[in-house]
Structure 1
Amino acid sequence: MRTIGRPSLKTVLKTSTVAGLAAVMLSTGIPAQIMSSYAAPVSVNAPQAPSFADVVSAVSPAVVSVKVQSDEQQVADNDGGNTFSFGGRGFDQLPDDHPLKRFFREFGGQMGPNGQGGQNRNQDRADKNGPRPHHLRPTAQGSGFFISEDGYIVTNNHVVSDGQAYTVVLSDGTELDAKLVGKDSRTDLALLKVDAPARKFTYVSFADDSKVRVGDWVVAVGNPFGLGGTVTAGIVSARGRDIGSGPYDDYIQVDAAVNRGNSGGPTFDLNGQVVGINTAIFSPSGGNVGIAFAIPASTAKDVIADLMKDGKVARGWLGVQIQPVTKDIADSLGLKEASGALVVAPQEGSPGQKAGIKEGDVITAVNGATVKDARDLAKRVAAFGPNTKVDVDLWRDGKQQTIPVMLGNMASDDTASNDNSRPSETPAPSSSKALASLGITVSPSDDGSGLAVTDVDPDSEAAARGLKTGEKIISVNNRKVTSASEVGKVIEQARKDGRTRALFQVEADGSSRFIALPINEG
Structure 2
Amino acid sequence: MVRERVVSQLQSLGWPIAAGLLIALLALLVFPDLRPEAMFSQPAPADGRSLSYANAVERAAPAVANIYTRKPLERQRHPLADHPFYRRFFRQSDSPQQERMQSALGSGVIIDERGYLLTNEHVIKGAEEILVWLQDGRETQAELVGTDPESDLAVLKIDMEGLTAIEVADPSLARVGDIVLAIGNPFGVGQTVTQGILSATGRYNLRISEYENFLQTDAAVNVGNSGGALVDIQGRLLGINTAILGEGDTSVGVSFAIPADSAMRSLREIIEHGRVVRGWLGLDARPMTPELASSLELESTEGVIITNIIEDSPAEQAGLVAGDVLTHIDNQSVGQGRQGMNQIATTPPGSEVTLRVLRDGRRLELTTTIGERPAPNS
TM-score of the superposition, structure 1-length normalised? 0.57
Structure 2 counterpart SS, 1:72: strand
Q: Which residue of 1 aligns with 2:66?
A: 65
- CA displacement at 1:304 relative to structure 2: 1.3
Q: How many residues align?
A: 309
Q: Which residue of 2 aligns with 1:284?
A: 247
Q: Which residue of 2 aligns with 1:137?
A: 101
> Structure 2 residue aligned with 1:166, among 119, 126, 130?
130
Written as runs of structure 1 = structure 2, the 5 A alignment for 1:429-444 is none
Q: Which residue of 2 aligns with 1:351?
A: 314
1:418-452: CA deviations, max 9, x gaps?
xxxxxxxxxxxxxxxxxxxxxxxxxxxxxxxxxxx
CA contact (8 A) 2:225 2:241 kept: yes
Write the distance in 2 (CA, Å) between the matches of 1:334 and 1:247.
31
CA contact (8 A) 2:283 2:315 kept: yes
Over 3 Å counting, the alpha-carbon distance change for 1:73 and 1:175 in structure 2 is: farther
Alignment of 1:405 onto 2:358: no
Written as runs of structure 1 = structure 2, the 5 A alignment for 1:209-288 is 209-242=171-204, 243-288=206-251
Q: Letter of the aligned partner of 1:400 in structure 2? A: R
Written as runs of structure 1 = structure 2, the 5 A alignment for 1:480-499 is none
Over 3 Å counting, the alpha-carbon distance change for 1:256 and 1:413 in structure 2 is: closer
Over 3 Å counting, the alpha-carbon distance change for 1:214 and 1:265 in structure 2 is: same
Q: Which residue of 2 aligns with 1:53?
A: 54
CA contact (8 A) 2:219 2:255 kept: yes
- CA displacement at 1:144 relative to structure 2: 0.4
1:102-139: CA deviations, max 9, x gaps?
xxxxxxxxxxxxxxxxxxxxxxxxxxxxxxxxx88343
Write the distance in 2 (CA, Å) between the matches of 1:160 and 1:320.
32
Question: Which of structures 1 and 2 has the larger relative contact order (alpha carbons within 8 angstroms, sep 6+)?
Answer: 2
Alignment of 1:191 onto 2:155: yes
> Structure 1 residue aligned with 2:324, among 322, 336, 361?
361
CA contact (8 A) 1:247 1:379 kept: no
Write the distance in 2 (CA, Å) between the matches of 1:401 and 1:328.
23
- CA displacement at 1:46 relative to structure 2: 9.9
Write the distance in 2 (CA, Å) between the matches of 1:246 and 1:339.
24
- Unmatched tracts of structure 2, length 5 or more: 1-40, 45-49, 76-98
- CA displacement at 1:412 relative to structure 2: 4.2
1:10-69: CA deviations, max 9, x gaps?
xxxxxxxxxxxxxxxxxxxxxxxxxxxxxxxxxxx9987631111112221111001112
> Structure 2 residue aligned with 1:152, among 113, 116, 120?
116
Write the distance in 1 (CA, Å) between the matches of 2:209 and 2:327.
21
Q: Letter of the aligned partner of 1:348 in structure 2? A: E
Written as runs of structure 1 = structure 2, the 5 A alignment for 1:169-180 is 169-180=133-144
Structure 2 counterpart SS, 1:336: coil
TM-score of the superposition, structure 2-length normalised? 0.77
- CA displacement at 1:377 relative to structure 2: 1.6
- Unmatched tracts of structure 1, length 5 or more: 1-44, 75-134, 416-522
Q: Which residue of 2 aligns with 1:395?
A: 358
CA contact (8 A) 1:69 1:139 kept: yes
Write the distance in 1 (CA, Å) between the matches of 2:237 and 2:375.
31
- CA displacement at 1:354 relative to structure 2: 3.2
- CA displacement at 1:284 relative to structure 2: 2.6
Write the distance in 2 (CA, Å) between the matches of 1:220 and 1:164.
28
- CA displacement at 1:331 relative to structure 2: 3.0
1:290-342: CA deviations, max 9, x gaps?
11111111211211111121221011111111001112322333433211111
Write the distance in 2 (CA, Å) between the matches of 1:59 and 1:405.
44
Q: Which residue of 1 aligns with 2:284?
A: 321
Write the distance in 1 (CA, Å) between the matches of 2:227 and 2:217.
15
- CA displacement at 1:257 relative to structure 2: 0.7
Over 3 Å counting, the alpha-carbon distance change for 1:136 and 1:202 in structure 2 is: farther
CA contact (8 A) 1:69 1:136 kept: no
CA contact (8 A) 2:328 2:356 kept: yes
Determine which structure has more spread, i.e. the larger CA radius of gyration.
1
CA contact (8 A) 2:179 2:195 kept: yes
Q: Which residue of 1 aligns with 2:344?
A: 381
